[in-house]
A and B are shown apart, each in its own frame.
Chain A
Amino acid sequence: MATTPTSSPLHDVRDGDPMLARPFQIRRTRKDTYDTVSLQLKPPDGDDGFPFEPGQFNMLYAYGVGEVPISISGNPAKNDSLVHTIRAVGAATRALTSLKVGDSVGVRGPFGKGWPVEAVAGNDVVVITGGIGLAPLRPAIYQLLAHREEYGKVVLLYGARTPEDILFRRNLEKWRSRFDIETALTVDRAARSWKGNVGVVTQLIPRAVFDPLHCVAFVCGPEIMMRFTVMELIKRGVAENNIFVSMERNMKCGIGLCGHCQLGSSFVCKDGPVYCYEDVRDSFRKREM
Chain B
Amino acid sequence: MTKRQENIAVLESEGLGYLVQALIDKGYEVLGPRIKDGAVTYDQIETVRDLPIGWTDRQEPGSYRLVKSGKKTYFDYAVGPHSWKKYLHPPETRLWEARRDEQGFTVIEPERETAKKALLGVRPCELQALAIQDTVFTGGPYLAPGYQERRSNLFIVAVNCVRPGGTCFCASMKTGPKATSGFDLALTEILESGRHYFVVEVGSASGEELLSDLPTKVADDAEKEAAAKAMERATAKMGRELDTKGIRELLYKCFDDPHWQTVADRCFSCGNCTMVCPTCFCVNVEDGTDLSGQQAERWSRWDSCFTRDFSYIHGGSIRFTVKARYRQWMTHKLAYWLDQFGTLGCVGCGRCITWCPAGIDITEEVRALRDKEQSEKVQSV
Given contacts A23-B105, A64-B293, A249-B311, contact A255 B142 (CB under 8 A): yes
Minimum distance in angstroms from B96 CB to a CB of chain A: 6
What is the bound-complex CA distance between A286 and B252, given in angstroms?
11
Which B residues from 271 to 328 make CB contacts under 8 A with A?
A: 281-285, 287-289, 293, 296, 298, 300, 303, 305, 310-315, 318-321, 323-324, 328
Quick one: CB contact mask for B318-341 with A, threshold 8 Å, 1 for yes? Answer: 111101100010001001100110
A contacts with B: majority SS: loop
Residue contact A265 to B336, C-beta cutoff 8 Å: yes
Quick one: CB contact mask for A252-270 with B, threshold 8 Å, 1 for yes? Answer: 1101111110101111001
Residue contact B283 to A25, C-beta cutoff 8 Å: no
Minimum distance in angstroms from B332 CB to a CB of chain A: 7
Q: Is B214 an interface residue (CB 8 A)?
A: no
Residue in contact with B145 in the complex, picked from A9, A17, A22, CB distance below 8 Å: A17
Q: Is A152 an interface residue (CB 8 A)?
A: no
What is the bound-complex CA distance between A259 and B324, given in angstroms?
16
Residue contact B281 to A257, C-beta cutoff 8 Å: yes
Quick one: CB contact mask for A12-35 with B, threshold 8 Å, 1 for yes? Answer: 001001111111010000000000
Residue contact B285 to A64, C-beta cutoff 8 Å: no
Residue contact A288 to B303, C-beta cutoff 8 Å: no
What is the bound-complex CA distance between A65 and B287, given in angstroms?
6
Given contacts A65-B287, A258-B303, A259-B305, contact A89 B314 (CB under 8 A): yes
Residue in contact with A288 in the complex, picked from B142, B282, B320, CB distance below 8 Å: B320
B residues near A260, Cβ cutoff 8 Å = 282, 284, 303, 310-311
A residues near B300, Cβ cutoff 8 Å = 19, 258
Residue in contact with A67 in the complex, picked from B283, B285, B289, B324, CB distance below 8 Å: B285
What is the bound-complex CA distance between A147 and B167, given in angstroms?
62
| Nearest-CB residue, chain B, relative to A87 | B314
Minimum distance in angstroms from B225 CB to a CB of chain A: 45
Minimum distance in angstroms from A111 CB to a CB of chain B: 9
Residue contact A250 to B313, C-beta cutoff 8 Å: yes
Q: Is A90 an interface residue (CB 8 A)?
A: yes
Q: Is B109 an interface residue (CB 8 A)?
A: yes
B residues near A61, Cβ cutoff 8 Å = 287
What is the bound-complex CA distance between A64 and B255, given in angstroms?
40
| Nearest-CB residue, chain B, relative to A17 | B145
A residues near B310, Cβ cutoff 8 Å = 250, 260
What is the bound-complex CA distance between A181 and B293, given in angstroms?
49
Q: Is B143 an interface residue (CB 8 A)?
A: yes
Given contacts A17-B109, A250-B310, A250-B312, contact A262 B96 (CB under 8 A): no
Residue contact A257 to B137, C-beta cutoff 8 Å: yes
Q: Is B206 an interface residue (CB 8 A)?
A: no
| Nearest-CB residue, chain A, relative to B136 | A257
| Nearest-CB residue, chain B, relative to A253 | B285
Minimum distance in angstroms from A92 CB to a CB of chain B: 8
Given contacts A265-B340, A286-B256, contact A25 B104 (CB under 8 A): yes
Given contacts A23-B103, A260-B311, contact A288 B318 (CB under 8 A): yes
Q: Is B144 an interface residue (CB 8 A)?
A: yes
Minimum distance in angstroms from B129 CB to a CB of chain A: 16
Minimum distance in angstroms from A109 CB to a CB of chain B: 11
Residue contact B145 to A250, C-beta cutoff 8 Å: no
Residue contact A18 to B256, C-beta cutoff 8 Å: no
Q: Is B247 an interface residue (CB 8 A)?
A: no
Residue contact B143 to A18, C-beta cutoff 8 Å: yes
Q: Is A182 an interface residue (CB 8 A)?
A: no
Q: Is A211 an interface residue (CB 8 A)?
A: no
What is the bound-complex CA distance between A194 and B107, given in angstroms?
48
Minimum distance in angstroms from B146 CB to a CB of chain A: 8
B residues near A262, Cβ cutoff 8 Å = 328, 332, 336
A residues near B324, Cβ cutoff 8 Å = 287-289
Q: Is B242 an interface residue (CB 8 A)?
A: no
Which A residues from 124 to 150 make CB contacts under 8 A with B?
A: none
Residue in contact with B104 in the complex, picked from A103, A253, A259, CB distance below 8 Å: A103
- CB within 8 Å of A: which residues of B? 95-96, 98, 100, 103-107, 109, 136-137, 140-145, 255-256, 281-285, 287-289, 293, 296, 298, 300, 303, 305, 310-315, 318-321, 323-324, 328, 332, 335-336, 339-340
- CB within 8 Å of B: which residues of A? 9, 14, 17-23, 25, 61, 63-67, 89-90, 103-104, 106, 222, 248-250, 252-253, 255-260, 262, 264-267, 270, 286-289
| 13 pairs of residues in contact across A and B, judged by CB atoms under 8 Å | A14-B140, A21-B96, A63-B98, A64-B288, A67-B285, A90-B314, A104-B104, A104-B105, A250-B311, A252-B285, A257-B144, A260-B310, A265-B335
Instruction: Give the 3 A-B residue pairs with the shortest CB-CB distance, closest first.
Output: A104-B104, A259-B282, A288-B324
